[in-house]
Chains A and B, each alone.
Chain A
Amino acid sequence: MTEAKEQSKLLVKDHDVVVPGEVLAEGMEYLPSQGTYRKDDRIYANQTGLLIVEGKVLKTIPLAGVYLPKRHDVIIGKVIDILMTGWRLDTNSPYSAVLPLKDATFDYIKKGADLTSFFDLDEYVVCKIFQVTSQNLVDVSMKGPGLRKLKGGRILKVNAAKVPRIIGKRGSMVSMIKQATSCQLTVGQNGLVWLNGEPEQELLAVESIRKIEVEAHVPGLTDRMKQWLEKKTGKKIEMKPDEEFPEDRRPRHDGPRGPRRDGPRGPRRDGPRGPRRDGPRGPRRTGPRR
């Protein structure tokens, strides 16, 4: 180990922009994390992004990229199909999601009811991903605080990699924009933002979101945005967490994105779950459930 320590060398600095294939470190002492991998005794980047050195752990924060569904993410989905027993949603990612009947509403749905009366085609909903299988089949639920159908307003597409900055720490950025513009605002982890308010205020909200997107990687963003918004509106803006973001729903920047890893995992964070679906399965949701 002492020998390894002597040989280990970091070849880049914290907050450097790295490109795929770039050698980040030599030696066995550093550890690869998100967006980096080890080959022999070197660590390489496999994403273009900002390199973060956390102790001995190296990871990259991507500058851009598509959204990949991840469990526990709250996203904004668009209804693209009505199924026999639920709805299919577009998630602004390569994989569509299914919203099953039982997870869609607390209301009693009669057998043979017209599902479009709950969610119609092209409507947007705020939902939470509760399962992503290894085959990237995504299941979402609408049972939970803040999960609802979106009425009116407009949808804005943003770079999914910048979403954590738009939300801010415990929703502080969202809260500031809400205070400044009095708009209703919901940010989905999948890079869709829903916005509803007075037209003039909406424009300011759009402008501030675009500004955050552009300046996401520059330190001191929250303070800068606060000053900017105060100057624009002449209002005093208080920096506080957003009520929609309790501590446990704080967006996580770490951990691999996308499908579940194989191999052992820690204890499950959520409660009891339905039957496991790892075994062989029949055709998926094409007929009525018996």
Chain B
Amino acid sequence: MDQALKEHINQALQKGYRLDGRKLDEFRELKIETGVSSTAEGSARITCGATDIIVGVKIDVGKPYSDRPDSGTLMVNAELRPTSNPDFEIGPPSIDSIEASRVIDRGIRESKSIDEKSLCIEAGEKVWMVNVDVCPLNHDGNLIDLGGLAGMAALKSARFPKLVDGQPDYHEHTKEGLKLSCVPIPVTVVKIGDNLLVDPTFAEEKAADARLTVASLEGGELCSMQKGGNATLTSEELNKMIDLALKTAKTLRKKLG
């Protein structure tokens, strides 16, 4: 990390400014669009500042895991391509991309939003497999929140393909969508010095000492949390971060509609 930039961000924060002029708890301008891909069962594109992410949902038929023969599966994958940020390299998934996909996955999974039992077609033989692919076109920070938000938008818009002889026919979609019992929204709060802020840009992410991602539901119930970064958090800070995340999730929920 460019140490000078980190110091500069810190100095500005001490005077109450972010480098792009936002308030600490302010999100960048957000736009969500669904149905952007005709070949996916559900899709969404989210733009937030310079960050631009496409999420696609593929619904496939496959064999269930042997320990859960009557449950369908949910899988989230994040693909960080070099075209989205010069810091990324081609090759096997990086730690960042694995972490992003797992944190988004955990939010959706632990909220029990998708009833995996309802995805069963024939116990032990055939189940629906839901794959969520998060693909940043341009990565300027906050991949987890925006990927998770776009993921939920894409899941909401997803329609099952028609089942012909036990195989999906992707040319024809039914009107039936995924049954989502709730909408978890992840919000990441980063700690830089003594300041807590939401929606970090890429530079702010790199300057962050610690971060906490909180996925929550409409009533303020927490579904999952993930802490990252090297710095420690006091319990007081943790509570502040959760409060900030819940407050931000409320405004994001309105955008999701």
Contact = CB atoms under 8 A, between A and B. Distances in A.
Interface of A: 122-124, 150-155, 196, 198-200, 202-203
Given A199-B15, A203-B17, A154 B3 contact: no
A124 B3 CA distance: 11
Main secondary structure of the interface of A (DSSP, over half): mixed
22 contacts: A122-B1, A122-B2, A122-B3, A122-B4, A150-B4, A151-B4, A152-B4, A152-B7, A153-B4, A153-B8, A154-B8, A154-B19, A198-B15, A199-B11, A199-B12, A199-B16, A199-B19, A200-B15, A200-B17, A202-B19, A203-B17, A203-B21
A195 B21 CA distance: 15
Nearest to A78: B2
Interface residues on B, range: 10 to 19
Contacts of A198: 15
Contacts of A123: 4
Contact of B17 (A152, A153, A155, A199): A199
B30 interface: no
Nearest to B7: A152
Q: Which 3 A-B pairs have the closest CB atoms?
A: A199-B17, A199-B12, A203-B21
Given A198-B15, A199-B12, 5 more contacts: A122-B3, A153-B4, A154-B19, A199-B16, A203-B20
B5 interface: yes
Q: Which of A122, A152, A154, A155 has the most CB of B within 10 A?
A: A154
Interface in B1-49: 1-5, 7-8, 11-12, 15-17, 19-21
A6 to B, nearest CB: 53
Contacts of B5: 154-155
Contacts of A124: 4
A274 B57 CA distance: 62
B18 to A, nearest CB: 8
Contacts of A122: 1-4
A207 B12 CA distance: 17
A152 B21 contact: no
A90 to B, nearest CB: 10
A196 B16 CA distance: 16
Nearest to A122: B2
Contacts of B12: 199, 202
Contacts of A151: 4
A154 B3 CA distance: 11
Contacts of A154: 5, 8, 19
Contacts of B1: 122
A122 B4 CA distance: 9
B193 to A, nearest CB: 14
B16 to A, nearest CB: 8
A150 B5 CA distance: 11
